[in-house]
């Protein structure tokens, strides 16, 4: 028997169990605030990251590289997916139990819809529960964008990224539409598992934001792994036939087709605001559906905040966490934190080896008028970094962009083993005003990847000092 009352009065309503929402809910519940957390699916406790995003995809990266010689690709993939599902299930349980332990926090599983600016109706097991709250946090995340391609909604072989990582049969040929982060990560994973992979990218180059030398190095790694990347590819139609689908596309004025047993649209994600009834709440949205917020994440209604992907900001779990810090500072702190405080936020593309970046590229720094010094070394040439040789992963490149006048780091691109960890050191240095020379002269453990900074940055500083000396002598 359902014992949930038909009406609940709360201090705070949180719609969505994502990183930002659950962090705020837990903190406020711990302080004794009456919190109601609404999540529409029992499979999404904890949000996108532990269920269908960061955790399962990165776990698959790990498993893909650990197949034993005696394991067939199909069997190893099935075992890996099963193991990953067990992991995500345990994360869901932990997320639920931690929040459910708060006496002042109630979790409702069902679709929440605004009735008015302070009221949300929740469909819980066929019953409507009405929740009123003084403060409301929207944390509903984002959802895959399905591009407007002929036949894409009719094909039985078109799948979302969620569908893909839940299927237990390894695709023989995976066609990915879109060469952004998601497409490249999943393409690399499934190629390592043994799938034939074709990535169709509509622009002239993948990783267009990166400098050419960094992008070229990454592209060469993809090509050496056997991933087929087709640029300037405009997908025209997807048509089922036989045991798979035929994807027809145009590239550089010619028409081609490729057969696949799985087709993944990886063309981005849009804020998940449909069905929330934001009009009834008086909450404004952008043309793309994102909730409009100010620098303190307040919406057009001062008592309603939007956290994470739904507000149209960077779609990273760690940004959603920082959103929670900003909102909590508004609710129980000094009210000083804002999105304007953010700078030098790192990001990582989890290919093998990972590509981690922060700050400006060389191209962006020059365009902004900075006088810069640039240092770049291939990982295989950084002899102060024996870890790369120890783990037999010497592919990649490290690149630093440094202000010539201040010696401050303007940006970095690390395509190397352990770069997802090293980039956090660089980001912290940039935020704290640590100079390139200080980062170079720091003491790092050995053998580690971070000690590469002793070598890479040292080369930059020495070469510039020599150039200045030569100029003065002349």
Q: Over the stretch 200-221, which tens digit does the pLDDT of each residue have?
A: 999 999 999 999 999 999 999 9
Higher pLDDT, 13 or 61: 13
Q: Over the stretch 395-434, which tens digit does the pLDDT of each residue have?
A: 999 999 999 999 999 999 999 999 999 999 999 999 999 9
Higher pLDDT, 458 or 19: 19
Judge whether residue 150 has pLDDT over 60.
yes
Run of H or E residues at 84: helix 73-100
Same CATH topology for 7-143+270-341 and 347-473: the answer is: no
CATH architecture of the domain with residue range 347-473 = 2-Layer Sandwich (3.30)
Question: What's the rounded Cα separation, in Å, for the pair 49 and 51?
Answer: 6
The structure tokens listed for 14 are 């949180």
Q: Over the stretch 377-395, which tens digit does the pLDDT of each residue have?
A: 999 999 889 999 999 999 9
* Residue 68 confidence (pLDDT): 83
User: Any binding-site annotation on 142?
Assistant: yes
Q: Which of 9, 3, 15, 17 is nearest to 33 (CA)?
A: 9
Judge whether residue 463 has pLDDT over 50.
no
Q: Over the stretch 337-369, which tens digit does the pLDDT of each residue have?
A: 999 999 999 999 999 999 999 999 999 999 999
User: Any binding-site annotation on 140?
Assistant: yes
Partnered with residue 143 across adjacent β-strands are: 270
Burial of 430 (0-12, 13-18, 19+ CB in 10 A): buried
User: Any binding-site annotation on 185?
Assistant: yes
User: Any binding-site annotation on 309?
Assistant: yes
- What is the value of pTM for the model shown? 0.91
Cα dist from 254 to 201, 232, 272, 420, whole Å: 15, 11, 37, 39
CATH architecture of the domain with residue range 7-143+270-341 = 3-Layer(bba) Sandwich (3.50)
Domain ranges in the chain are 7-143+270-341, 161-267, 347-473
63 is catalytic: no
Q: What is the mean pLDDT of the chain?
A: 93
- Among 30, 65, 128, 446, which one carries the catalytic annotation? 446
For residues 285 and 305, the answer to whether their CB atoms sit within 8 Å is no
Q: Over the stretch 31-81, which tens digit does the pLDDT of each residue have?
A: 999 999 999 998 888 888 888 888 998 999 899 988 888 889 999 999 999
* Residue 2 confidence (pLDDT): 60
Burial of 197 (0-12, 13-18, 19+ CB in 10 A): buried
Superfamily of domain 161-267: FAD/NAD(P)-binding domain (3.50.50.60)
User: Any binding-site annotation on 179?
Assistant: yes
User: Any binding-site annotation on 277?
Assistant: no
Question: What's the rounded Cα separation, in Å, for the pair 219 and 204?
Answer: 13
Q: What angle separates helix 54-64 from helix 181-193, to the nearest 10 degrees?
A: 30
């Amino acid at each position: 028997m359902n014992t949930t009352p038909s009406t609940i009065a709360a201090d705070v309503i949180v719609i969505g169990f994502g990183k930002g929402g659950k962090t705020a809910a837990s903190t406020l519940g711990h302080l004794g605030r009456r919190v109601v957390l609404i999540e529409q699916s029992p499979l999404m406790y904890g949000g996108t990251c532990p269920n269908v995003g960061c955790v399962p995809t990165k776990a698959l990266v790990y498993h893909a590289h650990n197949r034993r010689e005696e394991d067939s690709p199909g069997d190893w993939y099935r075992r890996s997916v099963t193991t990953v599902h067990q992991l995500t299930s345990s994360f869901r349980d932990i997320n639920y139990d931690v929040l459910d332990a708060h006496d002042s926090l109630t979790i409702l599983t069902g679709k929440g819809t605004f009735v008015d600016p302070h009221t949300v109706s929740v469909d819980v097991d066929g019953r409507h529960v009405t929740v009123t709250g003084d403060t409301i946090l929207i944390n509903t995340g984002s959802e895959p964008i399905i591009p407007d391609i002929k036949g894409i909604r009719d094909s039985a072989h078109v799948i979302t990224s969620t569908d893909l990582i839940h299927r237990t049969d390894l695709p023989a040929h995976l066609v990915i539409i879109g060469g952004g982060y998601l497409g490249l990560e999943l393409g690399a994973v499934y190629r390592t598992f043994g799938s034939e992979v074709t990535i169709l990218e509509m622009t002239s180059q993948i990783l267009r934001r990166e400098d050419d030398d960094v992008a070229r190095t990454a592209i060469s790694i993809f090509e050496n792994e056997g991933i087929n990347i087709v640029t300037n590819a405009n997908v025209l139609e997807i048509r089922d036939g036989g045991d798979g689908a035929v994807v027809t596309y145009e590239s550089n004025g010619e028409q081609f087709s490729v057969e696949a047993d799985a087709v993944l649209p990886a063309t981005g994600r849009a804020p998940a605001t449909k069905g929330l009834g934001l009009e009834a709440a008086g909450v404004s949205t952008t043309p793309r559906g994102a909730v409009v917020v100010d620098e303190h994440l307040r919406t057009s209604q001062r008592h309603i905040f939007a956290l994470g992907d739904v507000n149209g900001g960077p779609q990273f779990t760690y940004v959603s966490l920082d959103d929670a810090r900003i909102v909590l500072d508004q609710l129980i702190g000094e009210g000083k934190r804002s999105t304007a405080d953010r700078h030098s936020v790192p990001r990582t593309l989890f290919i093998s080896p990972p590509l981690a970046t922060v700050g400006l590229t060389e191209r962006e720094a020059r365009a902004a008028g900075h006088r810069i010094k640039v240092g770049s070394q291939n990982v295989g040439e950084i002899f102060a970094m024996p870890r790369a040789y120890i783990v037999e992963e010497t592919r990649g490149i490290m690149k630093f962009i440094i202000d010539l006048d201040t010696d401050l780091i303007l940006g970095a691109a690390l395509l190397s083993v352990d770069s997802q960890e090293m980039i956090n050191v660089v980001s912290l240095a940039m935020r704290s005003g640590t100079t390139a020379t200080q980062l170079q002269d720091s003491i790092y453990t050995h053998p580690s990847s971070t000690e590469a900074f002793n070598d890479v940055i040292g080369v930059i500083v020495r070469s510039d000092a020599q150039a200045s000396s030569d100029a003065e002598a002349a």
